Chain A
Amino acid sequence: DAKTTQPNSMESNEEEPVHLPCNHSTISGTDYIHWYRQLPSQGPEYVIHGLTSNVNNRMASLAIAEDRKSSTLILHRATLRDAAVYYCIQETSGSRLTFGEGTQLTVNP
C-alpha cells in the first residue's frame, strides 16, 4: 500500500518559512510525490509535485531526498491563508492518489 507518514500538526508564524516533512519509505522509482492542501468543506487544492529533482513553483518548493524515501514541502513565507491540512501523497498506478491523514498547519499572526 502506498502510505506516507506526516506529523499530525505543525505551527508557524506569519511571514516565516514552513517546512512540512513527509516519509514515503515504500516509494518505487516511478511513483510521483504530490502535495495538496485542503480547507474545511472545500476540495483539495494542488500545491506541487515531483519525481526526483527538487521543484519550485509560485506556491512552494519541494525538496526530495536523494533516496526518495522522504520529502519536504517548503512554504517560503507563511500567510494566514496558508493555514490548511496539507497532504503528501504517493501516486500509484493509473494516476491514483491515496490520501493519508495529512498535517494540519496553523499559522499564527
Chain B
Amino acid sequence: GAVVSQHPSWVICKSGTSVKIECRSLDFQATTMFWYRQFPKQSLMLMATSNEGSKATYEQGVEKDKFLINHASLTLSTLTVTSAHPEDSSFYICSAIPGPIPGSTQYFGPGTRLLVL
C-alpha cells in the first residue's frame, strides 16, 4: 500500500511553546489529508480536513487558531499546535488520499506522540 510518513515520531516540549508536525505522502500525490488525535485508550478523533492549496476544514469543537494546518504541496501537510499546554498531549495521526473521491482508501501515518510538560 501507499506510504505516509510523519515527523517527528515523538516530541516533548514546554508549556506555551509551539510544535509543528509534518505529514508526507511518499509515493502518491495527496490532494486531501486528514488530521486526527487519539488520547490513551480512546478512539481516533478527526480534527480537520486539509486540502492542498486551500484552507483546512475543522471539525466542530476543534480550535482552528490552536491547531494551524497548512497543506502547501501535494505531498506535505503540517499541523502546528500553538501555545501547547499539557492537555494537548496526545497521539497525533495524519492520513492521506489522492482526492476526496467516495470510497478512497485513507493511508495513515505512524503517528506523532506529543508530550507537553
Q: Taking beta carbons and an 8 Å cutoff, which residues of A are in contact with B?
A: 30, 32, 34, 36, 38, 41-46, 49, 51, 87, 91, 94-102
Stretch at the interface among B13-21, B66-74, B76-84, B109-117: B109-117
| B102: Cβ under 8 A from any A Cβ | yes
Q: How far is the CB of B105 from chain A (nearest CB, A)?
A: 5
State which residues 12-34 of B face A: CB under 8 Å: 32, 34
B111 touches A95 (CB 8 A): no
Q: How far is the CA of A102 from the CA of B32 in the complex (A)?
A: 25
Neighbouring B residues of A98 by C-beta, 8 Å:
46
- State the total of A-B contacts with C-beta under 8 angstroms: 65
Neighbouring A residues of B36 by C-beta, 8 Å:
99
Q: Which of B4, B34, B103 contacts A51 (CB 8 A)?
A: B103
Q: Mark B73-97, 1 if CB is under 8 A from A, else 0.
A: 0000000000000000001010101
| B54: Cβ under 8 A from any A Cβ | no
Q: How far is the CB of B55 from chain A (nearest CB, A)?
A: 14
**A41-B113, A99-B44, A100-B43 are known contacts. Are A91 and B107 too (CB-CB below 8 A)?**
no
Closest residue of chain B to A47 (Cβ to Cβ) is: B105
Closest residue of chain A to B94 (Cβ to Cβ) is: A43
